[in-house]
Amino acid sequence: MTVAELRDVAKETEDEAIRGYSSMHKEDLLKVLCETLGIEAHVHHEVVGLDKAKVKAEIRELKQQRQAALDAGDHQELKKVRRQIHRLKRKLRKATV
């Protein structure tokens, strides 16, 4: 939502905590609205079925290999490493719940 939309919601909600909503910044307004309306402000995602730290470490190693391939001008190796990075990132996204 935009700040204007959030201010419209605050205008409709009559609560003492939302006083001064017209001068609030978006992050402050969003925080107060979530508390007032009883909405969880941030939903955390979990990776299920994978060791996230291990996959991210692999990606970091592959990024070093990618840089080495770029410096060497080895396009075959560069393509191979980029595909591996892409696959690992997709694997992480699919495992995220």
Residue 47 lies in a domain: no
Q: What is the mean pLDDT of residues 67-90?
A: 97
Q: What is the pLDDT of residue 68?
A: 97
Q: What is the pLDDT of residue 93?
A: 94
- Report phi then psi at 47, rounded to 5: -95, 125
Query: What's the structural domain count of the chain?
Result: 2
Shared domain check, 29 and 61: no
Residue 64 lies in a domain: yes
Residue 88 lies in a domain: yes
In terms of residues, how long is the chain? 97
What pTM does this model have? 0.60
Residue 65 lies in a domain: yes
- Its domain, for residue 82, covers 52-95
Residue 43 lies in a domain: no
Q: What is the pLDDT of residue 42?
A: 73
Structure tokens that stand for 19 in this block: 């006083």
Q: What is the pLDDT of residue 30?
A: 87
Per-residue model confidence as pLDDT tens digits over 13-51: 877 778 888 888 998 888 888 888 888 877 778 899 999
